[in-house]
């Protein structure tokens, strides 16, 4: 049986990842392709518990960047083995909202942890799984936050990453763009500061050429 495609979406909060994951999922379904969508950190019961710990931590005790990194990798390790790999092997394509590149950008580019150590841990957690294609939804932190501010306020959820200063998010963006420059075949940069249908059209053009 033909293995499924593994497609990831990356980019900052408010870039439109969840929106575009949903649109691409629907596109594949209409083509009759077996497909599912998931997210990181999370995607299994255990990994979603880790997500709540890492995102919602109240700061009463400092969460060290190393701890944050290992929690992200622990969630990924579970998600890859429990959810993603079995589906790919069954011929189901998997679309994932964030994956290893987010760890490189947030814990590496922004928190400043060693990139070689992160690369090793990413490989270890992902069982060396690499996306067939990664869509980097690129947008300035200012535009991204203009979209999410109301979302977090209305949801009343505290998110340690959204709460970081603008300079942190500039570093995240810079690191994502560096990753795209170093792996241009895999990581495709999409201008996300446009209406959702224009962004989706670019993604579909690449997805159809690469994957179907």
Nearer to ligand ADP, 108 or 141 (CB): 141
Give Rg (Cα) of the chain.
16
> Which residue of this chain has its Cβ atom nearest to Mg ion in the complex?
18
Cβ contact 180:192 at 8 Å: no
Which residues make up the interface to ligand ADP (CB under 6 A)? 11, 13-19, 147-148, 151, 194-196, 199
Nearer to Mg ion, 17 or 87 (CB): 17
Find the shortest distance in angstroms from Cβ 9 to ligand ADP. Answer: 8
Q: How buried is residue 12: exposed, middle or buried, by Cβ count under 10 Å (0-12/13-18/19+)?
A: buried
Q: At what angle do helices 166-182 and 141-155 cross, to 10 degrees?
A: 120
Which residues make up the interface to Mg ion (CB under 5 A)? 17-18
- By a kind-dependent CB cut-off of 5 to 8 A, residue 69 interacts, out of Mg ion, ligand ADP, none, with none
Nearer to ligand ADP, 81 or 194 (CB): 194
- By a kind-dependent CB cut-off of 5 to 8 A, residue 195 interacts, out of ligand ADP, Mg ion, none, with ligand ADP
Find the shortest distance in angstroms from Cβ 5 to ligand ADP. Answer: 20
What distance in Å separates the CA atoms of residue 128 and residue 55, rounded to the nearest whole number?
Answer: 25
Nearer to ligand ADP, 7 or 121 (CB): 7
Token pair listed for 115: 């990139």
Cβ contact 85:129 at 8 Å: yes
Cβ contact 162:97 at 8 Å: no
């Amino acid at each position: 049986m033909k293995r499924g495609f593994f497609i990831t979406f990356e980019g900052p909060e408010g870039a439109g990842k969840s929106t575009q994951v949903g649109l691409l999922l629907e596109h594949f379904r209409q083509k009759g392709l077996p497909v599912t969508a998931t997210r990181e950190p999370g995607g299994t019961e255990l990994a979603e518990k880790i997500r709540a710990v890492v995102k919602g931590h109240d700061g009463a005790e400092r969460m060290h960047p190393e701890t944050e990194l290992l929690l992200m990798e622990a969630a990924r390790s579970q998600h890859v083995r429990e959810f993603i790999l079995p589906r790919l092997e069954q011929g189901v394509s998997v679309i994932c909202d964030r994956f290893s590149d987010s760890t490189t950008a947030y814990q590496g580019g922004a928190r400043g942890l060693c990139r070689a150590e992160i690369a090793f841990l990413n490989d270890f957690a992902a069982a060396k799984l690499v996306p067939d294609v990664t869509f980097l939804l690129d947008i300035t932190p200012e535009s991204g936050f203009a979209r999410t501010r109301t979302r977090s306020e209305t949801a009343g959820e505290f998110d340690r990453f959204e709460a970081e200063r603008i300079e942190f998010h500039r570093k995240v963006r810079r690191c994502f763009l560096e990753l795209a420059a170093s792996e241009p075949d895999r990581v495709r940069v999409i201008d996300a500061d446009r209406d959702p249908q224009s962004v989706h059209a670019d993604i579909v053009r690449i997805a159809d050429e690469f994957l179907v």
